[in-house]
Amino acid sequence: MRLSPSVRLELNQARKFAGPLAKRAGRILKKGFSAKKKTTSKGVIDLVTQFDFASEKLIVSEIKKKFPEHDILAEEGSSVERERPFRWVIDPLDGTTNFAHGFPLFCVSIALQFNGATVLGVIYDPLRDELFLAQHKQGATLNGRKIRVTKEKDLTKALCVTGFPYDMHTSARDNLANFRRVIKRSRDVRRIGSAALDLCYVACGRFDVFWELKLWPWDVAAGALIAHEAGARVTDFRGGEFLITGKEILVTNGRLHKEMIKLVR
């Protein structure tokens, strides 16, 4: 994808804007983490708190002021869809279940798309003060330092991470069979409860492999770009093109991809 000078200029402005904005939203979550939470359910195990809404309100309002012509897709309902070239994809609190239970792994995820392709990704973990950022063809960084995926070639030495869909109580396609196959072949498998952080952790070499199914665009838009820009291979389970609107994602350091395709189905 080639970007015109005017698009590149707007993208650079968005990059300077999105990092500080993610940190501002992260401060809301950090303060809320130790506060009393009002938790409601969107599904059997899908939670939302008042801090999801507060974070989203801040992010959306600031985008509307800075980039009024841009579209917005936001998890908690603040979307603005007019089929404009630029669209922000926002998860104001990825890892809400962790957050609600006092488990300290969650983040803010903000992505920007141009004509359907993700060109900017920002993910902020407020408890660790870690800001992951990637721009189209500019690489990926963690707190300003370049990051890269691992070089591990042996799956038996690889640390993997996955998650399970919100309908796992009722759907036969629940990822449990994949989990069993991969844990038998790898060094180990983790489940930390935030797909956005899973992707960032592959990008910076903390994990070698991530796979999951039935995720939403706001779960993966920013993280998939960060992983890709850090050298990861990002596909569906068959090795085909990954789409944020799809229901499968497989991310590896590239060297483990073929073997993982044989295991996840």
Q: Could you give the CA distance from residue 83 to residue 179 in angstroms, rounded to a whole number? A: 38
Residues 123 and 204 placed together within one structural domain of the fold: no
Do 93 and 131 lie in a common domain?
Answer: yes
- What pLDDT band is residue 57 in, cutting at 50, 70 and 90? very high
Answer yes or no: are the C-beta atoms of 190 and 207 closer than 8 Å.
yes
- Total number of domains constituting the chain: 2
Question: Both 142 and 169 in a single domain?
Answer: no
Mark whether 235 and 138 lie in a shared domain: no
Separation of CA 244 from chain center: 10
Q: What is the separation, in whole angstroms, between the first and last Cα of the chain? A: 30
17-21, 167-171, 239-243: the lowest-pLDDT one: 167-171
| Confidence category of residue 43, pLDDT binned at 50, 70, 90 | low
> Which CATH number belongs to the domain containing residue 170 in this structure?
3.40.190.80
Write the CATH number for 39: 3.30.540.10
Task: Please check the confidence at residue 42 and state whether its pLDDT lies above 90.
Answer: no
Question: What is the C-alpha to C-alpha distance for residues 217 and 198, in angstroms, rounded to an integer?
Answer: 15
pLDDT level of residue 2 (50, 70, 90 thresholds): confident
Distance, CA of 264 to CA of 16 (rounded, Å) = 38
Domain edge (last residue) among 121, 146, 171: 146
- Residues 240, 160, single domain; the answer is yes
Boundary-marking domain end, from 94, 114, 146: 146
Q: In this structure, are 180 and 126 located in the same domain?
A: no
Q: In what order do the strands lie in the sheet with 71-74?
A: 71-74, 86-94, 107-114, 117-125, 130-135, 140-142, 145-146
Q: Which of 146, 173, 197 is the last residue of a domain?
A: 146
- In this model, does residue 52 exceed pLDDT 80? yes
pTM of the model: 0.96
Q: Does residue 95 register a pLDDT over 90?
A: yes
**Region 145-168: what's the mean pLDDT?**
96
247, 165 contact by CB (below 8 A): no
Amino acid letter for position 264: V
- Expressed as residue numbers, the domain containing 243 is 155-263
Enter the tokens of residue 165. Answer: 């869909």
Which residues 6+ apart lie within 8 Å of 99 measured at CB? Answer: 29, 32, 33, 37, 49, 51, 93, 106
